[in-house]
Amino acid sequence: MDSKTLIIPLLEEISNANSSMSTDGSLEPHVRRNLQDLVKQLGFALESPFETLNRLVVLPFQHAVVRVAINLALFEYMVEAGLDGKTEEEIKAKTGVDELLLPRLLRTLTAIGLLSQLDEQRWAATRLTHVCTIPTVKSGYRFMWVIPSPSNPYRLIGCDRFDFIGPVFQKLPESLAKRDYRCPTATQGPLQDAYNTKLNGWEFFLEPQFAVSLQDCNLFMKGRRQGSLSWLDFYPFAENILARAATDAESVLVVDVGGGLGHGLVEIKEKFPQVQGRLILQDLPKTIEQRGNSEGVFEPMAHDFFTHQPVQGPRAFLIRQVLHDWPDQECQQILQHLAAAMQPGHSKVLINEFVLADVGASDFITAIDLVMMGMSGGMERTVSQWNKLLASAGLRIEKIWTLDEETESVIEAVLSETPDPSRDVETEGTTVEDS
């Protein structure tokens, strides 16, 4: 099929999207996602195959330049400059970058939309430049991407040229080949090969030399959801959890398992300030120590979710962006501890995770899937994989609420005496046949 045959139908579909736009120019999330996908397909159709591959080959170098700009505080400087921008000479004086290197960096940032070039010697900020000044975005780049830096704290383990995730992906091809292309496990994979460790990814990540990277990771995960709808915006928490919950102050309403700094419980308290019952945050001691003031919101509890669950019979165990960190075997162990602590007919497990599309999975989710695989042998899962995993732990999916593929779904599960991984799983708006 030639490119012309592809381009014309795509242009027609994009044009038809105008009918879905409201009078103020806004789009429903699912319409916007569909339009983004069409534009991406159009881009592929307009490129030759070699142009596409050439673009992909240079992506790591472009990301490295973004990291250089973050180190130089260049984005902040350009935002402060306003619409008039700054000359190369002014940028050189501010950053200390020499006159031969500076335009090469600026040209690269302009090519990917992070700066604009006003004339031969003047550059200015774009909408994306402003985003690059947000602390959570900068944390994501420090955590994920690479930059030569003699002062990098990870020099302690003999790797002075990369941030935390960079070496893992450099080792991925070699690591998969030497294990005959089997999925990595929690303790045998590219992370262990990159850093010469026998620890699993999360044990290793908590080593003292990664304190800065841990802070960046926590900040990145918090900020990644800024501007997105919360799971509480589309999951009927009041109807499904609060309506049948005990109303006395001593009963446990929600246990947030592996809940990090408690952002999930804070969201619940803010959205439902009248909520009755205890909210309990569980995580490892080092994480619990980093939380802010939780008085009047939740109770902190140091707990390892691979061990016996001490809280019995809550209305709900909430587990958000945890299970994708681990392979199925470890997830089964986590879920079995929760199942053993549940009260039949009362307790639920709420899993807030991505649900991979069986066809046409997005580039963002497939990339996150690879990050989890490289980091800890974890994975993003399809409906059928979620159903099979939960059934193996004595749980059954009641329903899955999904806003769109790039927003974490809510999987509601209950105890099941007769697990049946072949059953159909109901999802909001559609019925997804499990096979």
Q: Looking at the annotation, which residues are catalytic?
A: 324
Residue 32 CB partners (closer than 8 Å, separation 6+) = none
Tokens 């009963």 belong to 251
In DSSP notation, 170-234 reads HHHHHHHHHTTTPPP-SSSSHHHHHHT--S-HHHHHTSGGGHHHHHHHHHHHHHHTTTSPPGGGT
Q: How far apart are CA 284 and CA 218, in angstroms?
A: 14
**What amino acid occupies position 205?**
F
CA-nearest of 14, 9, 51 to 31 is 14
Between the alpha carbon of residue 370 and those of residues 85, 325, 378, the distances in Å are 38, 11, 9
- 110-148 burial, b for 16+ CB within 10 Å, e for fewer? beeebbbbeeeebbbbbeebeebbeebbbbbbbbbbbbe
- What single letter denotes the amino acid at residue 383? V
